Amino acid sequence: MTPDMTPDMTPDMTPIMQALMVAAVAALLMAGGWLWQRRHHNAGIVDAMWASGMAVAAVLLAWTGPGAATPRVLLAVLGGVWAGRLALHIWKRVRHGEEDGRYRALRAHWNGSQGKFALFFLAQAGLVVFMSLPFIAVAANPVPGMTPWAWLGVLVWAVSVAGETVADRQLDAFRADPANRGRTCRAGLWRVSRHPNYFFEWLHWFSYVALAAGSGLAWLAWVGPIAMYLFLRWISGIPYTEAQALRSRGEDYRQYQRTTPMLFPWFPKRDCAGSPHHRTPTPEE
């Protein structure tokens, strides 16, 4: 008997029941995050809680899904590792660091209203449910074994998670040097994209499109890359990040915007003499 032919010992849950289960877990996580934020005055914890919610959702949905064993195991491992790594990375940055400028601006705009922050955290719980729809599609995939689509999903996942990890480490190393305070990172992947971490985060969602191939709910998997692109490009990602960068780094970041692609990696622009525009600002700047 192959792994995909083993008796199904998991609860028989419909997609709606699965979504409600994820909603309950996400609400509890966000409630805890809100309480931590209230005590430490750092709303950046919401990002760590979102990633944690996605990790738990991947495992729970894989366990309760009606599909074959292989896509469900891949979902639990790949989704859990991706989101767990992201949660840990954000937590390390948040627990001892200052509140992200985006959330400081939000706190000032809301005059520190904890009621508004509570609604904000609750909305993030809803976002966990919404972004878990691709997981539901994968967990319902009845196609057994490692198909070409499954291998493609694993390959896309490996490339994107490795790329996001490298981008995060390059930025952390740059920020760790006090001499770089107030300057823009142009090292490694940050030379060819202003947001390589966002690019690989977006690319990662195509993993579940491939893993859901053959599922009756395969169309739900497209929610991942489409929604993530919209959020990163126009709603909560790049606009807020770049606004904060302009406030803190001014002309140096404006030059970076003029010479470096925003999301999709490509060669930086060159001046008339053929040299890349990546001048290091003087201490006075």
What pLDDT was estimated at residue 9? 44
Question: Is residue 155 over pLDDT 70?
Answer: yes
User: pLDDT tens, 116-135?
Assistant: 999 999 999 999 999 999 99
Question: Is residue 162 over pLDDT 80?
Answer: yes
**Is residue 270, in this structure, part of any structural domain at all?**
no
Reduced to 3 states (helix: H, G, I; strand: E, B; else coil), residue 67 is coil
User: pLDDT tens, 87-112?
Assistant: 999 999 899 888 888 888 889 999 98
Do you know the residue count of the chain?
A: 285
What average pLDDT score do residues 197-220 get?
Answer: 97
Other C-beta atoms closer than 10 Å to the C-beta of 182 total: 13
State the chain's mean pLDDT as an integer.
Answer: 90
CA distance 22 to 27: 8
Q: How many domains does the chain have?
A: 1
**Is residue 137, in this structure, part of any structural domain at all?**
yes
Domain that holds residue 40: 10-259
pLDDT band for 12, please (50, 70, 90 cuts): low
What pLDDT was estimated at residue 279? 45
pLDDT band for 280, please (50, 70, 90 cuts): very low
What pLDDT was estimated at residue 282? 35
CA distance 171 to 179: 14
| CA proximity to 42, closest of 87, 93, 111 | 93
**Is residue 277, in this structure, part of any structural domain at all?**
no
**Is residue 284, in this structure, part of any structural domain at all?**
no
What average pLDDT score do residues 3-16 get?
Answer: 59
Question: Is residue 217 over pLDDT 70?
Answer: yes
**Is residue 113, in this structure, part of any structural domain at all?**
yes
Residue 137 tokens read as 């599609």
- Residue 30 in contact with residue 83, Cβ under 8 Å? no
What pLDDT was estimated at residue 104? 87
In the chain, the percentage of residues whose pLDDT exceeds 70 is 91
Residue 125 tokens read as 């719980």
**Is residue 266, in this structure, part of any structural domain at all?**
no
**Is residue 267, in this structure, part of any structural domain at all?**
no
Query: Where are the alpha helices (H) located in 2-146, listed in sequence order?
Result: 15-40, 45-64, 69-74, 80-94, 101-109, 114-131, 133-139
User: pLDDT tens, 59-98?
Assistant: 999 999 999 999 999 999 999 999 999 999 999 989 988 8
**Is residue 51, in this structure, part of any structural domain at all?**
yes
